[in-house]
Amino acid sequence: MFQMLIEYLKGREVLILGFGREGRSTYDIIRRNLPDKKIGIADMRQIELDDPNVTLHCGEDYLDAIEKYETVIKTPGISFRDVAVSSNIEVTCQTDLFMRFSKGVCIGVTGTKGKTTTSTLIYEMIKQAGKKVCLIGNMGVPVLDSLESGDSLAAVIEMSSHQLEYTTASPHVAVMTNIYPEHLDHYNGFSGYVTAKMNIIRHQVGCDYFICNAWQNFEENFNFSKTETTVIKVCENGGNGDEKLIAAAASNERLKGAHNKQNVLFAATAARCIGISDEDILEAVRNFKGIENRMEPIGEYYGIKFYNDAIATIPHAVECAIEALDDVDTLIFGGMDRGIDYSGFEKYLEKCKLRTIIGMPDTGINICNALLERGCTKNIILAQTMEEAVDAAFRFTEKGKSCIMSPAASSYNVYKDFEHKGNHYKELVKAWKE
């Protein structure tokens, strides 16, 4: 229960590491419940805070403060790739604390791609059944805010690798949509990323469930004989009795593509694990409204259909969107280079049905230059800004077809996050004039 968490923190020397949205949430919770507790806050940025019971550690050496505290509540985005932490120091995060102290059923969803759609579908299925449920985690809702407001029957938690990296508890139902190379700048290579992801099941017990992709071999990364967890492998075509579910997904415009069909199957399997009926699952799929920034239709302008897919930060997600929409004529892509291998993506861009490819800094420019050097005959445009990219899309996309902005990279080289990038793109599309 929430009070158990407060009692736990009351007896510890606590450092809040990172003072963004989640760090601020942790501070506010501690202050509402322990107004006189002395705590530390560390951040690269300078912090202005009028609180005599807070010791601030700001600037380039802010990580040095870690060794001065018993419990470090870490903001997920801070990398510990080159940081050595003493074994007697507890490193935790809001997600870990929620799972340790919540008495409700926790359903955790992770994966390189598909986790937001799958999490939201599970939430809608449980809500359709009339059950009290909350949707929290990586989509921007600090998890402890929900714990403070009272226990729900179930909490659906979207979990990034960063949130899982220091968890010491696992959810009752864990869903792993897929794993592809991602966030390699945060970890010591792909193996570190996979290790963090696999924490979603590392602490499961015999009555728990692990739902995963049938075509990815998770046994390579985790020895299932260590636990009595029930492992359910979901095939792309589902199992016996899933025909109605697949048909419902296919009829929903916001669930186009094979990848979304599998997201629906992941979600339905998780919902069934906690007793949600197939009738409620089907109704939730039929009524699903989609996810902002994921194959999001913006509208038709000057005869061109525009889609915002800013959340697609790896090549595979871009390829899934292009194949699902089927009539994409123009791709706008590119972002921060995080060391991902794009050689396979370059071959895909050469062979796919796209006529116009618009590359933005940094990765889009690099890939477009590589395609030009190989003699690719498609209409390849280098755009230094989103304004240039959108202008080119209007001028070169064939009328009656689609343009999608799907980065295949993170957005941090120019934008605050993928949402910032997606919103800028949408604004420019809606405001463009011939």
Sign of the dihedral defined by the CA atoms of residues 269, 321, 291, 341, in that order: positive
**Architecture in CATH of 102-286:** 3-Layer(aba) Sandwich (3.40)
Q: Residue 143: name the closest of 183, 116, 173, 106 by CA.
A: 106
CATH placement of domain 2-92: 3.40.50.720
DSSP string, 231-256: EEEEPTT--TT-HHHHHHHHH-GGG-
Cα–Cα distance for residue pair 229/203, rounded to 1 Å: 10
Q: Is there a contact between 10 and 70 (Cβ–Cβ < 8 Å)?
A: no
Sign of the dihedral defined by the CA atoms of residues 112, 116, 117, 122, in that order: positive
pLDDT at 84: 84
* CATH 3.40.1190.10 domain locations along the chain: 102-286
What spatial distance separates the first Cα and last Cα of the chain, rounded to whole Å?
A: 59
pTM of the complete model: 0.90
Tokens 């916001």 correspond to what residue? Answer: 254
**Architecture in CATH of 296-431:** Alpha-Beta Complex (3.90)
Q: Are strands 304-308 and 402-405 parallel, antiparallel or unpaired?
A: parallel
pLDDT tens digit sequence for 235-263:
877 776 789 999 999 999 999 999 999 99
Outline where 48-109 has alpha helix (H).
Answer: 94-101
* CATH 3.90.190.20 domain locations along the chain: 296-431
Peptide bond into 151 cis (omega under 30): no
* CATH 3.40.50.720 domain locations along the chain: 2-92
pLDDT at 217: 81
Map residue 54 onto helix, strand or coil.
Answer: strand
Q: Characterise 344 by phi-psi region: left (phi > 0), alpha (psi -120 to 50), beta (else).
A: alpha
Map residue 298 onto helix, strand or coil.
Answer: strand
Q: Is there a contact between 225 and 245 (Cβ–Cβ < 8 Å)?
A: no
Cα–Cα distance for residue pair 52/94, rounded to 1 Å: 24
pLDDT tens digit sequence for 152-193:
678 999 998 888 988 999 999 999 999 888 776 777 778 888
pLDDT in tens, the chain (434 residues): 578 999 999 999 999 999 988 999 999 999 999 999 999 999 999 999 999 999 999 999 999 999 999 999 999 888 888 788 898 999 999 999 999 988 889 999 999 999 999 999 999 999 999 999 999 988 767 788 776 666 567 899 999 888 898 899 999 999 999 988 877 677 777 888 888 899 999 999 889 999 999 888 888 777 776 677 899 999 877 776 789 999 999 999 999 999 999 999 999 999 999 999 999 999 999 999 999 999 999 999 999 999 999 999 999 999 999 999 989 999 999 999 888 899 999 999 999 999 999 999 999 999 999 999 999 999 999 999 999 999 999 999 999 999 999 999 999 999 999 999 999 999 999 999 87
- Classify residue 54 as exposed, middle or buried by CB count within 10 Å of its CB (0-12, 13-18, 19+): middle
